[in-house]
Amino acid sequence: MKDTVFTIKENNIIAPQTYQMVLEGDCSSITAPGQFVNIHLPGFYLRRPISVCDLEGSTLTIIYKTVGKGTAYMAQRKAGETLLVLTGLGNGYDLGCSGEKPLLIGGGAGVPPMYLLAKRLRSDGKEVQVIMGFNSKEEIFYEEAFRNLGFQVTVTTVDGSYGVKGFVTDALPNQYSYVYTCGPEPMLKAVYKGIQTDGQFSFEERMGCGFGACMGCSCKTLTGYKRICKDGPVLRKEEILWED
């Protein structure tokens, strides 16, 4: 874990209320796809956690949706400005379980962490399949980026305006060796029920400190209480306990 000043290289809108920010700084403590960074925003008490979308040397890419005051503040930042970023947070995905044909499922703001994961699985020679779920065609981002990695990509939209009409679970393929997923909790629950293999699920719990000190993100699992920020955000299917 490192708290470092990053310089904003780009901060562009890529879909309605969705921004891609490219940052330059010390990324040495980021060790796995599925990890997140926690961004200090001047004037805000709590930092804002955002998943690592891509990483190349000292260049870090994140994608965020503007849902409140913090992310609205981020959207106004310009290239050349700096941000204090805590990096290397969370456990990230374990690539060792993927098998030969892993299936990656991202929904909305859960799509970004799938990108670095897909790149790393490709480096390991895996035959990756990707399902990306959105509400409608206008919300889609990164479809081309995933296709450019050479993978089979399926896009679902709830309103049927693009790709397969329905939810990500309406597009599950017949064959896959393992599942990696990130997205809103109702989607994670549906994926949990719909898949035939084991998998790893990333949760975007509300957070306080982001590094295991405050217990603010603690949640009950089948193997005891876990801090989503430190013991997660990725949980294995066999340890998840859904509380209705």
Q: Which residues bind ligand FAD (CB under 6 A)?
A: 36, 48-51, 63-65, 67-71, 109, 112, 204-207, 233
Burial of 114 (0-12, 13-18, 19+ CB in 10 A): buried
Can residue 229 be called a binding residue for ligand FES (CB under 6 A)?
yes
Task: Single out the segment in contact with ligand FES by CB under 6 A; choices: 52-60, 82-90, 167-175, 202-210.
Answer: 202-210
| Sole binder of ligand FES in the list 197, 212, 237, 239 (CB under 6 A) | 212
Can residue 88 be called a binding residue for ligand FES (CB under 6 A)?
no
209 binds, among ligand FAD, ligand FES, none (CB under 5 to 8 A by kind): ligand FES
Nearer CB in complex with ligand FES: 14/241 = 241
Instruction: Tell me how far, at minimum, the Cβ of 83 lies from ligand FAD, in Å.
Output: 14
Can residue 209 be called a binding residue for ligand FES (CB under 6 A)?
yes
Instruction: Tell me how far, at minimum, the Cβ of 217 lies from ligand FES, in Å.
Output: 3
